[in-house]
Structure 1
Amino acid sequence: MATRFESLPDRRTIVDRRTVADLLAAIPPANTSRMRAASVAILRGVLDRGRAEMAARLALHPSRGREVAAGYAYLTDQMLRLIADFTVTCLYPNPNPSSGERLTLIAVGGYGRGEMALHSDIDIAFLTPSKQTGWGEQIIESMLYTLWDLGLKVGHSSRSLDDMIRMAREDLTIRTALLEARYVWGDNVVYEEAARRFDREIRDGSAAARAFVTDKLAERNTRHVRMGDSRYVVEPNIKEGKGGLRDLHTLFWIGKFAYRVSELPDLVGKGLLTREELRRFQRAENFLWAVRCHLHILSNRPEDRLTFDVQREVAARMRYADRPGRSGVERFMQHYFLTAKQVGDLTAVFLAHLDETFAGRGRRFGMPSIRLRRRIDGFTLDRGRLALPKPDHFLADPVRLIELFALADRHGLEIHPLAMRQAGRDFRLIDNAVRADPRANALFLDILTSPRDPETVLRWMNEAGILGRFVPDFGRVVAQMQFDMYHHYTVDEHSLRAIGLLSRIEKGALDVDHPIATELFARLVSRRVLYVAVFLHDIAKGRRGDHSILGAAVAEKLCPRFGLTAAETQTVSWLVRHHLLMSATAFKRDLSDFKTILDFAGVVQSPERLRLLLMLTIVDIRAVGPGVWNSWKRQLLSDLYEAGEEVLRLGHKQKGRGERIEAKQAQLRAELGWDDATFDAYARRLPEAYWVAEPADVVARNAALVESADAAQLPLSIVATADPERGATLVTVYAGDHPGLFYRIAGAVHLAGGNIIDARIHTTRDGMALDNLLVQDPFGQPFDEPSRLDRLSAGIADALANRNRLADRLAAKPMARTRAEAFEIEPQVIVDNKASNRYTVVEVNARDRPALLNALAHAFFQSKVTIHSAHIATYGERAVDVFYLTDLVGDKLIAPARLRTMERLLLAAAEGEGSLAAVA
């Protein structure tokens, strides 16, 4: 143990074992329960002081992760030795133990490695030469009770040496834990015998090593899939996630088992790592341990997930300061992701060595024999993978750094890890001359626009550091996160995923989700323009200013270098400049308002641009992360595309609009089978905006509801139906129109546990409200169980009839603490009287929270305005709600004083001022 922690400074300030041992020895003799309780009181103080010392060291030197992790393990060692000595000497003395009463205590797993965080489990094993004795059972039980009384989480086992060997053979987890076994206390002879038998009976032979390596790599792959299979998720698990501590541990376990190394630096002697790679390994391990130790202290629990609510605090503790255009937390998280990337690079090097060590001639590790040509364009083939003919291959011609990946794409080959390692070493050979080289740029454009698998090859380039070096603007966003709940990945990971999605759409692999985009792809004139635009659309993020405008300027600089024509460059720049236009229009504007479509078409200007923009928008949204895309967004984008395409085809005339209304009414007339007089009267009751806004299936449902309600002379009728196609529940309310109708509906939906994602509010010419709402549950899914649908409908009916004391129930419902509270969002109200010819458009940006829509709707009620439609969009922690309004007589809101009053009420509602009772 002394050698394990000999580099740990000032060990006695952590715990002075001799002084504590004297205190324990001075406990007056009594029954074992009282003596053990007295020892716990002493040890608890020792533990608290030791932990406080380590926390103080971390606060003083916030980046010394390995030192602090070793300090916690050293403290645990000393505590166990003290407990063991006290138990054997004072509680259950045995002056003449028999040969069977020998006992040794070993540390296993991470604790055995000598690394722990504040709340890490203490993994220990009690070993005996043979079957356990009564005295040994007393010792083990007493020690465990003491540890539990101290509040420690202990993973323990008690085995004979024969049991240890048998279970290690059967269980990979036990085999791995024992690989890290370290003597802590007890009979050293038993420990040494255990170590010899483990080496001889478990580790001996290449077959055992191959089996261990295979099992550990399979375990690693399973863990990666479980944790999201990406290093670049913005709330990473620093222990179990891809690129985390467990990946580093796996490398060392493999080296220790298969190559018989005992310490990390021994990996260099075995040729598994170079000295520089060892330093990178140690830096990565040190950083990850520092982050983990800070996490445990901040959360005061065994927390290994770097969630949004702690990222800012960890960044502050580790002294990451704000910089122009970049917050401290974003700089910290970029360091994390670059570290995770380093772990991935080291893993690739390790796998190459495993392949060389364990694969037979002409075979690859775990793969069948592959026979291919031995050379391709100056590169060699090593068991089916592109390799280098000599180490200085790139030095002779740096363009080969790009050519390596172009050949891999063209021939569908993998790249040998040692070639990747050399590319990673030589990437600095890419200078301005290489960037300006037409051959290099042509090769890169071939990769980017490949009809095969551009995402994978670009990802390889990014892992090797080649992509960011060849395109320095892209290098600025490598490992860059955005501190929000909307984006699930770093900027570079998001862009590469978008390229992959675009390729899948082109191949028809996503035709069910995107039938229009799949069909349109074959009609594209500017295919390579689209791929370049997707690659560049977020390239200016993290700079001061609008990333769309700045990105368009970057595109104008890069596209000619890549070999695009002036016309293609102009289109790419336009797409990057407007890549948010289509989603903003579809999700935040009323598509039934013809001026919305005219304004959108006026910016787009050409059908080809519209097709390109649709596909860029789809992959941009889908690449944000899982669960962000849904059928409702698909429906809105499809509606906007069709309306925009119609305007661009027919010109700025409303001929198409009128034809669409006539066609919809003719279809409904045929479905209903009403006589002409009845149908014509019904059609006249509803304004033109209704027939434009509502899809044919909703129009048919509304007509059936109105017919049955009017026939029964019902003052209120509500129907809630699950709508899987839209990924929501359609709630239709038919009632006498009156002020405050919408905010009461919004409050009732909130009480039922629902969220309104879209609302289209219509008033018939005879004074009835016909409102269609799309509602989702808190998980973004439709309400589909009959009982929940009934509860939703009943809740709305009670609220509108004022039967359920809506205000009191809203006030009584607790406001759940949400993850959005980790973000600072200043509420903003934007009033736009130019976006519509008929309505005043009001956009509210605020932190998302329960009942926000209810509060905003009440503010509109207080402002004495009529809501005609509401469009609810949520981007992680940020809610963007847009409302189309008029005054009570149907005119736009013009008076400045009235607009100021409404804005003040909306800001108060967005900030959550006042109680829900007051809001309701």
Structure 2
Amino acid sequence: MQEIKSARPASSRRSRPGSWRISDIIDPRQLRIQLTAAHMDNVHDQQQARKRVLNLLHGALFRGRMIAQERLEAGADGLDTANLLSAVMDEVLHALYDYTTTHIFRVKNPTQGERMSVLAVGGYGRSALAPSSDVDLLFLRTYKQTAWAESVIEYMLYALWDLGLKVGHAFRTIDECIRLSKEDFTIRTAILDKRYLFGDAEIKEELDQRFNKEIIDGRAAEFVQAKLEERDRRISREGNSRFRVEPNVKEGKGGLRDLQTLFWLAKYVHGGDTFNEVLNNHVFSKSDAALFRREARFMWTVRCHLHYVAGRAEDRLSFDLQPEIASRMGFVDRAGMTGVERFMKRYFIAAKEVGALTRILCAKLEETEQKKPSGLLRFLPIPSSKLLENKDFILDGGRVSYANPDSVKSDPLNLLRLFDEADNAGYDIHPNAIAVVRDNLKELKVSYRKNPEAQKLFLDIVTSPDHPGTTLKIMNETGVLGRFLPEFGRIVGQTQFNMYHHYTVDEHTIRAVEAMNDVEKGELADEHPLSTVLFSKIQNRRALYLAMLLHDTGKGQGDQQIEGAKTARGACLRLGVEPEEAELVAWLVGNHLEMSDTAQRRDISDPKTVATFAKKVGTVERLRLLVVLTVCDIRAVGPGVWNSWKGQLLRELYYATEAALRGGRADEASVRAQIANRADDAREMFSQRSTNIPQSILSLENAYWISFEAEVHQWHAEQIASAQSDTICAARIEKELSATQVMVFAKDRPRLFADLCRVLTSAGADILSARLYSTNDGHVLDVFEIQTNIGDPFCEGDPIRLEHLCDSLRAIAVGEKPQTDFSDTEYKASRRQAAFIVEPVVSINKSASNSAIVIELSGRNRQGLMQEIANELLNANLSIQSAHAESYGMLVHDVFYVEANDGVIIDETKLTQDLLDVLRRGDLEAPRTPARALKRAKSSENR
């Protein structure tokens, strides 16, 4: 029996000294003996022989993957796992190649055309293979394709596909590799990662020589430029932020692809073959190389766990996968933070470190290549840097840098002056300066936080009129912001495990500061007209910027508004802010959610709502500050969160509160009188402008007249006046509010509101608000604002469907069955939604309004929820006056204003339980893979 011999000792492959030997996982000699035996035992039945060979190779692969997974779950890092999986794949491929060329298509004296070398390229070429990644191979030849080579490749590829592998492959000559590398940077990058596996080694050496001479030498500048442009395009596709709460570990900003880009650039410009050789070239300082290794191991660990948990090549760290990955990596709950939040904080700190490293090294390599003169330019002197007014700083290539990096050690305030100089001059910061800042961060000792000059520098940066968010972002990336302002440092990388917030807390905060600056400069006047007008009237500008910077510093410490007020007050006093201004900042932080909560969760037409809010605000100046703070906070949550409907609610609350404050009295009686006067004025104006007015419109209660503009009153009246029956339904798109308004005018009857909600929700509409107004002749006017589930006006662009919806509402209002069947569909939470535990909450408040009982409910959002709640309220003999809905991703907060029917005594305990039962119908358990027992308790304690 003939034995296949390995061309290279596999046991020489290791990820790190003493970590593992491939020979302990796969015995190459034994595997080849088994393959030879399979062939000899089935020499007359090639199909059976092939089946047996595939079983043996599959067994070797399976064993290797299981050992890799067990080591990962026992605490090995992901880079070690990727190296092990690559080594296992090497041995399986090598054994298959030897079997194919020995027993299937053997050539004793290969011709020039039958010489072939097999190389690993791409990630596999770097000896890093994720559990479900593609295996990229280059079959390299020196001559035209031969039948023998084609047969060998075909046999191997079909075998690999039958093993369930995803194989990327190319069969090229050396000339083709060189030509395509010149034309396509993707192919050039793949070949840059080439690694010899087996076959004719001389062919690979020839490719090395020609690739270095014809592709690398003298072409570094174009490669650097191409890879940086490619990175910009990739980052743009991924949302241009490394702080998105569902990051892509591979392609996202600050992820593995950024590390790979650094690796490619350093290798291309300065050489090196292996991972360690590249990190040891002079592009990387010792600290940079250590940082690269640490974060690469962490990112690879996350990615490998992702692949194993998902059972596929999944690189998006989605909400439904985050808890399981956190558990597997040993992150447990601690005071104030869940395990998954601690894990994601570690991830985003890693992404921040990778981002800073990328910014420094990419810019350094780009600048180095661009400064290399060519042709006759090489004989000209290189332009010198320009000293700035502060002699410690220079302008180098249009970017601010240190004239002498050692000046930071002699005067640590230069760490802050760098950002102030860049902001004042309107220039970017040089990557060399950023590297100096990161390397000397410890020089900014705690004592400097109370240094008057340091305080002034910091406050000037925060309140800069020219894009302070840009400067704060770089300060955050370098660590200066969190070190000088520890209250901010605590929220760096912090996440909120929900589907509402799109960014980490620190990223959201900096985006909010930048949004505020855009409002101040009038750049958002079309989207935020009220805030733009109010900003010019604000007297406490600095307090507003400080409040925005500090508004979320209480998160993770209890009640975020209470704790945030404490941290904001302490931070301001330490920064040298006068106590009165510090108290204003603390008040804004401690109440930064009040305006949005009141506008979206309360009936603004209720006098007590306005009076209570006005009393809390106290002054018109605070009201202005709160408007701008609220608008910019909501806007910075993420794309699509702000909409015109929220803007309309905030404007209504602002004008009502301003009137109360300007009147000098904000008590309920005064507000009620103001509302009555406004309602009378609206009726009078309407009567003067309109003819053929239905008497029922004029008899509508005061709340109706102050809740809508005159143009809406006119539309309602026209619909009622022109109707041929006693029941009217009409709808129109309100683009400025991002909603569709539906009005139903009908004879009142029991369960009318619940029935209308059922039709709307079964048609797929999300109900933003529902306001119910009564006439003195037994009619009701129900006005709904509805959207699609992605926040667009419902039925926008589909007038026929909107007409059918109105027909159905009209029919249900008179007790008939609608002709159009908007059938209810069973609600099923997605994996992402079900990943969150939503604890339902119900509260009954009899003091929030003098004319109604306010019932607040929060729970998992689902189709038809408002109608189910309405049914329970009606079952309890309660009449609904108005309803308000506010969504936060998968969470909904509904508020109902209800009135007990005559003689009804509410059983609050029973009603609360019944409503909780309704909310829990949508509280589904997250479908996730069971967590395995952790084998390294010490590891989890060190996270």
TM-score w.r.t. length of structure 1: 0.93
Partner of 2:910: 901
Aligned partner of 2:775: which letter? T
Query: Separation in 1 of the partners of 2:496 and 2:120?
Result: 41
1:338-363 CA-partner distances (Å, limit 9, x unpaired): 11111112112213431452233899
CA drift at 1:101: 1.5
Task: Give the equivalent residue in structure 2 for 1:402.
Answer: 416
* Distance in 1 of aligned mates of 2:473 and 2:152: 55
| Contact 1:362–1:369, Cα closer than 8 Å, also in 2 | no
TM-aligned CA deviation for residue 723 of structure 1 = 1.5
> Residues 167-178 of structure 1: matches in 2 within 5 Å?
167-178=180-191
Q: CA deviation at 1:123?
A: 1.2
Q: Kindly indicate whether the alpha-carbon contact (under 8 Å) linking 2:696 and 2:777 is maintained by their aligned counterparts in 1.
A: no
Q: 1:480 aligns with which of 491, 494, 505?
A: 494
Distance 1:879 1:815 in 2: 16
The answer to whether the 8 Å contact 2:860/2:922 transfers is: no
> What do the CA deviations read for 1:584-622 (whole angstroms, capped 9, x no partner)?
000111111111111100100100000000000011111
Q: Aligned in 2, Cα 1:289/1:658: closer, same or farther, shift over 3 Å?
A: same
Shift of 1:23: 2.2
How is 1:784-863 mapped onto 2 (pairs within 5 angstroms)? Answer: 784=796, 785-797=798-810, 800=813, 801=815, 803=817, 809-810=823-824, 813-817=826-830, 819-863=832-876
Deviations 1:193-226 (A, max 9, x none): 2222211211121xx1100000000000111111
* Distance (whole Å) between structure 2 residues aligned to residue 798 and residue 122 of structure 1: 62
Q: Mapping of 1:592-631 within 5 angstroms?
A: 592-631=605-644
Q: d(CA) in 2 for partners of 1:534 and 1:484?
A: 22
Find out whether 1:413 has 2:450 as its counterpart. Answer: no
Residue 758 of structure 1 aligns to which amino acid in structure 2? S
1:815, 1:850 within 8 Å by CA — same for their partners in 2?
no
Q: For the residues of structure 1 that align with 2:357 and 2:608, how far apart are their CA atoms?
A: 56
Deviates more, 1:376-385 or 1:757-766: 376-385
What's the secondary structure of 1:238's corresponding residue? coil
Contact 2:224 2:366 in 1 (8 A): no
1:425-445, Cα deviation, whole Å (9 max, x unpaired):
222222232111111101111
2:228 is aligned to 217
Aligned ranges for residues 556-595 of structure 1 at < 5 Å? 556-595=569-608
Give distance in 1, aligned partners of 2:596 and 2:167. Answer: 52
SS at match of 1:359: helix
Partner of 1:781: 792
Local SS of the residue matching 2:400: strand
The amino acid of 2:503's aligned partner reads Y
The 3 A distance-change label for structure 1 pair 756 and 369 is farther
Q: Decide whether the 8 Å contact of 2:225 with 2:366 is kept in 1.
A: no
Q: Which amino acid aligns with 1:587?
A: Q
Q: Which residue identity does 1:189 align to in structure 2?
A: E
Decide whether aligned partners of structure 1 residues 154 and 386 sit closer, same or farther in structure 2, where only a CA change above 3 A counts.
same
Find the partner of 2:21 among 10, 13, 20. 10
Pairing 1:672-691 to 2, within 5 Å after superposition: 672-674=690-692, 678-679=693-694, 681-691=695-705
Give the alignment of 1:328-477 within 5 angstroms.
Answer: 328-360=339-371, 372-374=386-388, 376-477=390-491
Question: Contact 1:592/1:693 (CA < 8 Å) preserved in 2?
Answer: yes
Give RMSD over aligned pairs: 2.4
- Distance in 1 (CA, whole Å) between partners of 2:270 and 2:45 is 51
Pick closer, same or farther for the CA change 1:749–1:34 going to 2, 3 Å. Answer: farther
- Where structure 2 has 5 or more consecutive residues not aligned to the other structure, the ranges are 1-7, 925-943
Q: Partner letter of residue 911 of structure 2?
A: M
The residue that corresponds to 2:554 in the other structure is 540
Q: Distance in 2 between matches of 1:88 and 1:796?
A: 76
Q: Does 1:657 align with 2:684?
A: no
In structure 2, C-alpha distance between the alignment counterparts of 1:758 and 1:369, rounded to whole Å = 65
| Rounded Cα–Cα distance in structure 2 between residues aligned with 1:913 and 1:328 | 25
Q: TM-score, normalised by structure 2?
A: 0.91
- 1:794 shift after superposition: 4.4
Return 5+ residue gaps in structure 1 as ranges.
916-920
Instruction: Describe how 1:857-872 pairs up with structure 2 within 5 A.
Output: 857-872=870-885
Indicate how the Cα distance of structure 1 residues 191 and 769 shifts in structure 2: closer, same or farther if over 3 A, else same.
same
Whole-Å Cα distance in 2 between the matches of residues 744 and 187 of structure 1?
Answer: 78
Question: In the aligned structure 1, how far is the partner of 2:297 from the partner of 2:922?
Answer: 45
Secondary structure, counterpart of 1:880 in structure 2: strand
Kept in 1: contact 2:811–2:817 (CA 8 A) = yes
**Alpha-carbon distance in structure 2 between the residues aligned to 1:108 and 1:764:** 77
Q: Tell me if 1:713 matches 2:725.
A: yes
Work out whether 1:180 is the aligned partner of 2:231.
Answer: no
Q: 1:733 to 1:32 in 2, by over 3 A?
A: farther
Alpha-carbon distance in structure 2 between the residues aligned to 1:155 and 1:621: 45
Q: Distance in 1 between matches of 2:471 and 2:829?
A: 44
Name the residue aligned to 2:527: 513
Residues 14, 50 of structure 1: 8 Å contact kept: yes
- Seq. identity, %: 41
Q: Aligned ranges for residues 37-52 of structure 1 at < 5 Å? A: 37-52=51-66
Q: Which amino acid aligns with 1:188?
A: A
Q: Larger deviation: 466-475 or 392-401?
A: 392-401
Q: Tell me, yes or no, if the aligned pair for 2:573 and 2:579 is still in contact at 8 Å.
A: yes
Q: CA deviation at 1:732?
A: 1.7
Distance 1:526-1:882 versus aligned 2 partners, 3 A rule: same
Deviation at residue 45 of structure 1 after TM alignment: 2.6
**Distance apart, 1:798 and its partner CA:** 5.7
Q: Which moved more, 1:791-800 or 1:229-238?
A: 791-800
Paired position in structure 2 for 1:918? none
By relative contact order (CA 8 Å, sep 6+), the higher-ranking structure is 2
2:777 matched residue in structure 1? 766
1:903 Cα deviation from its structure 2 partner: 1.1
Amino acid at match of 2:744: V
Q: Letter of the aligned partner of 1:319 in structure 2?
A: G
Residue number among 79, 93, 115 corresponding to 1:102 in the alignment: 115
Which region of structure 1 is more displaced relative to structure 2, 471-480 or 394-403? 394-403
Tell whether 2:324 aligns with 1:319. no
Letter in 2 for 1:899: E
Q: Give the C-alpha shift of residue 476 in structure 1.
A: 0.9
Return closer, same or farther for 1:806/1:847 CA change in 2, 3 Å cut-off.
Answer: farther
1:141-152 to 2 correspondence within 5 Å? 141-152=154-165
Does structure 2 conserve the Cα–Cα contact (< 8 Å) formed by 1:64 and 1:290? yes
CA contact (8 A) 1:799 1:806 kept: no
C-alpha distance in 1 between matches for 2:62 and 2:731: 58
Contact 1:371 1:384 in 2 (8 A): no
1:116 partnered with 2:129: yes
Question: For residues 697 and 22 of structure 1, what CA distance do their matches in structure 2 show?
Answer: 88
- In the other structure, the counterpart of 1:194 is 207
Partner of 1:911: 920
- Counterpart AA for 1:425: D
In 1, distance between residues paired with 2:121 and 2:115?
19
**What is the alpha-carbon distance in structure 1 between the residues aligned to residue 532 and residue 922 of structure 2?**
48
**Whole-Å separation in 2 of the counterparts to 1:358 and 1:22:** 53
How far, CA to CA, are the matches of 2:155 and 2:347 in structure 1? 42
- After TM superposition, the structure 1 = structure 2 runs for residues 34-73 of structure 1, keeping only pairs within 5 Å, are 34-61=48-75, 64-73=77-86
1:19 matched to 2:30? The reply is yes
* 1:487-535 superposed Cα distances (whole Å, 9 cap, x missing partner): 1111111111111000000000000011111111111111111111111
Q: Give 1:305's aligned residue.
A: 316
> In 1, distance between residues paired with 2:50 and 2:762?
53
Q: Is the 8 A contact 1:533 1:576 kept in 2?
A: yes
- Residue aligning to 2:654: 641
Q: Which whole-Å deviations, capped at 9, do the CAs of 1:645-700 have from their partners, x for residues lacking one? A: 111011332443234223433443355332xxx45x23443122222223333322
Identify which range, 341-350 or 743-752, moves more after superposition. Answer: 743-752
Change (3 A) 1:451 1:569: same
- Equivalence map 1:264-275=2 (5 Å): 264-267=275-278, 269-275=280-286
SS at match of 2:585: helix
The 3-state SS of whatever aligns with 1:26 is helix
Matched, 1:723 2:737: no
Aligned length: 896
Which of 860, 876, 893 is equivalent to 2:889?
A: 876
